[in-house]
Copies of this chain bind each other. A is one copy, B any other.
Amino acid sequence: MTAPDKHPLDLEMHADRLREECGVFGIFGHPDAAAITALGLHALQHRGQEAAGIVSFDGQRFHSERRLGLVGDTFSRREVIDRLPGMSAIGHVRYSTTGETLLRNVQPLFAELDPFGFAIGHNGNLTNGLTLRRELVREGAIMQSTTDTEVMLHLVARSRKPRFIDRFIDGLKALEGAYSFVGLTNKKLVGARDPLGIRPLVLGTLDGCPILASETCALDIIGAKYVRDIENGEVIVFDDKGAHSQKPFPLVAQRPCIFEYIYFARPDSVVGGRPVYQVRKTLGAELGREAPADADVIVPVPDSGVPAALGFSQETGIPFDLGIIRNHYVGRTFIEPTQQIRQLGVRLKHNANRAVVAGKRIVLVDDSIVRGTTSTKIVQMMRDAGAKEVHFRIASPPITHPDYYGIDTPDRDNLLAATHSLEEMRQFIGADSLAFLSVDGIYRAMGYEKRDPVRPQFTDHCFTGDYPTSLTDQTAKSHAPRQLSLLAEAS
């Protein structure tokens, strides 16, 4: 099975979004383990749309189904779920951050260790994954995927500790970067969050069975109860005897990724105790206070800008209205007519709602600007629809630095804010005015007075350049060019 063709037009719009990373799910001891995992992954679909996989264990054998495409394309079918028997399962949705999107890269990955099997799914990115990989290969390890997750499999396989959990922790200790893992052995469901808790992981319960999931929305879809967030640096194991938690790393304060709030998490999820939708409305209100505009209507860029636009509207008293209509049947990019159609790319997904926009001074509200190409087109679409003035407001600060923890950001050169002043950005986008929320504005919206420059409360390097861990692979990069797998396979 090959990846669906991508057309330049579509890539362009795609390229102007931060790519969400991955989502994980696991359940232990439930007779409908695979069906529930499929539903949980469906709720986490926004975290990864390129591939999905589930591994179940039936008491004797592991079963694995991994496919390119959406969860519903494969895992909604009875015959697929029937091929995943057993009371325990873990699942994964993936947008590729490292490794090409090939079937052999789709998680959960599995290894038959001695004397047990072990499956693992990973959300995040290891900043020393490439370095570890090279060491392992040099020692005779055979890598089948080009994911950094496989490194963890080999580390566990090579640990000489007798107990599984000690081998697992041996593996974790070699890692650097961001990770939320779910793992499944013949006897245990295991979860782990990196020492800073960069990527999210929550614990829930359904019919008395423990569930691990990237977000609470995956608990809601199955009617499971939220218990608590897995803590930064926590390793938790569920087996027939119950739950066992430990913190094998030196204790440090948590520093979750601020982008989960701004961008990635579903608005109906609660992350780190904060309802995401309310955070986004507050970001919009904060933005309304910092950078108001004299205008007739607040128009969200759908759907990402809606909560912030509502907050902005409520703060400023300017009415909120849908000046852009989104086509719900997206996902495919069409052949572009040879006789050029202006702005086709953007129109496949959006259309101006002329009745709202024509003759008005509008404030466009979005959650972020990455490359700026889509923003440019949307401003132009508003002008074509007769907007008198177009003010652009962004409910987060300028993105100036790339991410290495599981978010697919462009290189610095392609980040608009990394190479343009505010005024240059305004000109590029073609807006009458442009404003971003300040960094401290975010922290105020999160309930702090301001960013703590010594121990920042969040991972926020994309806005500040302050990376929370060392970046071993990046440092090495200048000396030895990245050279992951030599093998390209399409099947």
Contacts and interface: CB of A to CB of B under 8 A. Distances in A.
Given A268-B353, A277-B356, 15 more contacts: A39-B344, A43-B351, A63-B489, A64-B488, A83-B488, A112-B137, A113-B137, A114-B137, A142-B142, A207-B339, A217-B325, A221-B351, A266-B351, A268-B351, A310-B321
Given A76-B333, A332-B73, A333-B76, A486 B221 contact: no
Interface stretch (A29-37, A237-245, A416-424): A29-37
A98 to B, nearest CB: 15
Interface in A394-424: none
Interface in A1-54: 5, 30-32, 35-36, 38-39, 42-43, 45-46, 49
Interface in A419-457: none
Interface stretch (A153-161, A251-259, A369-377): A153-161
A355 B314 contact: no
Nearest to A206: B341
Contacts of A60: 486
Given A31-B338, A137-B114, A344 B77 contact: no
Interface centre among A31, A43, A268 (most CB of B within 10 A): A268
A306 B322 contact: yes
Contact of A103 (B75, B343, B488, B491): B491
B331 A65 contact: no
Interface of A: 5, 30-32, 35-36, 38-39, 42-43, 45-46, 49, 60-67, 70-73, 75-78, 81, 83, 103, 110-114, 117, 134, 137-138, 140-144, 153-154, 157-159, 186, 207, 217, 220-223, 266-268, 270, 275, 277-278, 303, 306-307, 310, 314, 319-322, 325, 327-339, 341-344, 347-348, 351-356, 485-491
A261 to B, nearest CB: 13
Nearest to A355: B275
B220 A77 contact: no
Closest 9 CB pairs of A and B: A72-B332, A275-B355, A32-B337, A140-B158, A268-B325, A76-B332, A45-B329, A111-B142, A140-B157
B489 A65 contact: yes
A487 B277 contact: no
Nearest to A66: B491
A343 to B, nearest CB: 7
A90 to B, nearest CB: 14
B61 A277 contact: no
A267 B357 CA distance: 13
Interface centre among A75, A320, A335, A336 (most CB of B within 10 A): A335
B334 A65 contact: no
Contacts of A344: 39, 221-223
Nearest to A150: B142
Contacts of A491: 64-67, 103
Contacts of A221: 344, 347-348, 351
A81 B154 contact: no
A321 B123 CA distance: 31
A351 B220 contact: yes
A172 to B, nearest CB: 16
A217 to B, nearest CB: 6
A285 to B, nearest CB: 12
Given A142-B142, A347-B220, A63 B336 contact: no
Contacts of A49: 329
A164 to B, nearest CB: 14
Given A62-B487, A143-B112, A275-B355, A334 B268 contact: no
A118 to B, nearest CB: 9
A62 B134 CA distance: 18
